[in-house]
Structure 1
């Protein structure tokens, strides 16, 4: 509930919320809530939850409501939150029995709804052997000392045209960079418009690059330019905090060479952890994506981040297809947007039965030896509870 003129804001949410078994969406953003009842987790059909803008006493929970999915928030409440002991565990067991009894009384409709929701969240893996033009990333020897780990795949069939779909997509990427990528220190995501078949080459020491929203420039000159801009920001704001791309310059400190991804035409399309290229900028008309995750920490981090990225895109794609939005707006979204995104559901339309297609991409060394193939049979396991993978 929002404050419009004389409308009072909600200051308390009682345990009676559990008496609403048909509740599917709840928006109590920007109210005066300080606590959330554990009984909120007893609403079996609750899928959409917006509690941003409330000053909760549990600071961990406050962070979660500003960035996590409803399922994570409800699981946290169901577990009793932080600092709860055996008494809370007993209460949770009691609530669990009540939920089971209520679900039996409702004929299991809640469980069926959940299964139906998951069944719609589908991705199909297109194997290298099935692709008419398989994609390959060749890792140059010089990249080993600057950013040795990379995982890539193609994702076909996304819908970014209607309403704010593109903004939601970019905002989700920013959120992943802040959370699972640990502000790009653990890994960096790059998403590209797959408007042509890449025969990608990963190498170091990029030459010219056309960064998002900027003119063509040499990589080293771009770094120097960003350093000067960061210094100017500090002087103007009279503080150490800097924003935008400037926040990631420290990740290149001490590097003589820089990592990059080059397409078949020799054009730099990615300069992690700083920026992508204008050539492969995501637009509302984009239907097929080339996804890239790089890291200097480990290959498994790259895979975990890619799993999370595919799940998030699948969720956003389903939301876009299920909600009516005007096919309007511009493509001028040059970088991921910050801040919360309102995902309140609108009026549902018939969901398309076509799943997103995840096309395997091989990463090889300069001699053609396979380094990694994604997704393999064991990949996407971290999100298997929310994603149905057709292999």
Structure 2
């Protein structure tokens, strides 16, 4: 049997962590029909990741021998089954089975008493195993993008007193039980894009709830439906609290009856309260909302490893991912691209101060690397062009700049092409490279056709690079996110027909101006943190009608 050098090295050096991912590993898995059995002898491992291997369809029962595992990451494969013996991994704290083909989860998961993070998003699950309440240390559950129709009753158990994040978006869930108020630590609840008709008023009794998302549900209370698509969590919970109080009062009044005077006074009070509430709602609807998702909430968040060589070329980089940006409706995509161009012309000094690149995050293969390459070896498929080396691309751009200069009858090239001078005399060019070795960005010149954003893009990866300083990158990224929030609010308020410019006919029925910005870490070659964006000091300017939720 062919030996795997990564496993031999881990065994020889008594390593505690092992990461296997990508095409090379996938080919080995395909050739032998699964993972090599030697992996299950690495009993010192506390972190094991096998990801991005479409040939991996099952995990052998020998996984039970890795009793010291604390994190098991098996995402982005084609797994169809997980063995029951997974319950033997008594030290397991993080289990990530996202983006596979699982139709069921083993009951053994409920025996993982130390488990605090469970991610089974993007599978084919229809039910969850009963008994999750036995995993009393659970703090994060992500079951989004499955076919689940209901939560198991014991998910509302008081035993789950550490559960702070429950993400169940894009399922077929028809009911949310009022028992959810029994989860005392719940901070984030996402049940967007399901089949809910009602939101229980008891939800307002969750003492720590900070973020809720019910967008994409056809609620019977149309006023509430409007609020969930535009208001902050506090306003929605206040409304639910008032609704529950009103229902309680109506029940008492039905038994005791009301006098005419009492009715009149309450109607007047109700009218006055309604006017105040509507004013508050209008103010909330006029606000732009940006929610920051912390790295600790997303164990599989993208990271960017920065090589030491970029220091002499273009050393500064900040990145983040953004969800909730509606690019489908009408000319939303064109407005976004025009706004990016304007930022390049103004704040970025026609790219000479800083450069923005935007990517479709779902087309990215992580982890990413910010590195340098010789001009003749840097190959990229530039936007709207064929694959070429950096030398060829620069030559083309110089020719285009010269042609434009002649057309305009000017002595010098236009400001649009001045950024080309930034690379003159450089022996190495900066580039952002994905896990497959493809260059997806060549700042300040272009990014790649491979990750080009389209109307169908649902999650964006943003990068800002500069040769000036780190704060410049942060200032530009701040401005970009604020502009995105403005554009998203405009799109939400002006309900254009989706695909009106001919690119994508699919329509979106729900729009919202709220953006979710997920932190991205950049690290050095040894894994030491260089910068995380956004941090508490970012997005902090006093911007009118912008609320940042941390």
- Does 2:508 correspond to 1:380? no
> Which residue number corresponds to residue 178 of structure 1?
345
Q: Over residues 275-321 of structure 1, what are the superposed CA-to-partner deviations in whole Å (9 max), with x where a residue is unaligned?
A: 11101111111111000000111101111111111111011111111
- Does 2:510 correspond to 1:389? no
CA gap 1:164/1:352 in 2 versus in 1, 3 angstroms: closer
Q: Would the aligned equivalents of 2:358 and 2:453 in 1 still touch at CA under 8 Å?
A: yes
> Which residue number corresponds to residue 148 of structure 1?
315
CA gap 1:330/1:280 in 2 versus in 1, 3 angstroms: farther
CA gap 1:384/1:235 in 2 versus in 1, 3 angstroms: closer
Q: CA deviation at 1:268?
A: 0.8
> Which residue number corresponds to residue 356 of structure 2?
189
* Aligned counterpart for 2:473 among listed residues 281, 284, 302: 302
Within a 5 Å distance, the mapping from 1:352-371 to structure 2 comes to 352=511, 355-371=514-530
Q: Distance in 2 between matches of 1:375 and 1:163?
A: 30
> Which residue number corresponds to residue 501 of structure 2?
329
Q: Distance in 1 between matches of 2:391 and 2:526?
A: 29
| Structure 2 gaps, min length 5 | 1-274
In the comparison of the two structures, how many residue pairs are matched? 268
> Which residue number corresponds to residue 454 of structure 2?
283
> Which residue number corresponds to residue 90 of structure 1?
none
Q: Over residues 92-128 of structure 1, what are the superposed CA-to-partner deviations in whole Å (9 max), with x where a residue is unaligned?
A: xxxxxxxxxxxxxxx999x968843553x11111111
Q: CA deviation at 1:164?
A: 0.7
Q: Distance in 2 between matches of 1:296 and 1:122?
A: 31
> Which residue number corresponds to residue 71 of structure 1?
none
Q: Distance in 1 between matches of 2:501 and 2:482?
A: 25
**CA RMSD, Structure 1 to Structure 2 (Å):** 2.7
TM-score where L is the length of structure 1: 0.63
* Aligned counterpart for 1:318 among listed residues 479, 489, 497: 489
Q: CA deviation at 1:143?
A: 0.8
- Does 2:403 correspond to 1:232? yes
CA gap 1:159/1:354 in 2 versus in 1, 3 angstroms: closer
SS at match of 2:338: helix
| Structure 1 gaps, min length 5 | 1-106, 333-348
Q: Would the aligned equivalents of 1:118 and 1:387 in 2 still touch at CA under 8 Å?
A: no
> Which residue number corresponds to residue 116 of structure 1?
284
Q: Over residues 334-357 of structure 1, what are the superposed CA-to-partner deviations in whole Å (9 max), with x where a residue is unaligned?
A: xxxxxxxxxxxxxxx998567311
- Does 2:369 correspond to 1:198? no
Q: CA deviation at 1:375?
A: 0.8
Q: Distance in 1 between matches of 2:327 and 2:387?
A: 27
- Does 2:381 correspond to 1:210? yes
Q: Over residues 117-154 of structure 1, what are the superposed CA-to-partner deviations in whole Å (9 max), with x where a residue is unaligned?
A: 553x1111111111141110111111111100000000
CA gap 1:365/1:195 in 2 versus in 1, 3 angstroms: same
> Which residue number corresponds to residue 46 of structure 1?
none
Q: Distance in 1 between matches of 2:426 and 2:281?
A: 52
CA gap 1:275/1:245 in 2 versus in 1, 3 angstroms: farther
CA gap 1:179/1:236 in 2 versus in 1, 3 angstroms: closer
Q: Which has the higher contact order (CA 8 A, sep 6+)?
A: 1
Q: CA deviation at 1:386?
A: 3.6
Structure with the greater alpha carbon radius of gyration? 2
Q: Distance in 2 between matches of 1:237 and 1:384?
A: 40
TM-score where L is the length of structure 2: 0.46
Q: Over residues 10-47 of structure 1, what are the superposed CA-to-partner deviations in whole Å (9 max), with x where a residue is unaligned?
A: xxxxxxxxxxxxxxxxxxxxxxxxxxxxxxxxxxxxxx
Q: Distance in 2 between matches of 1:295 and 1:280?
A: 21
Q: Would the aligned equivalents of 1:181 and 1:188 in 2 still touch at CA under 8 Å?
A: yes
Q: CA deviation at 1:382?
A: 2.2
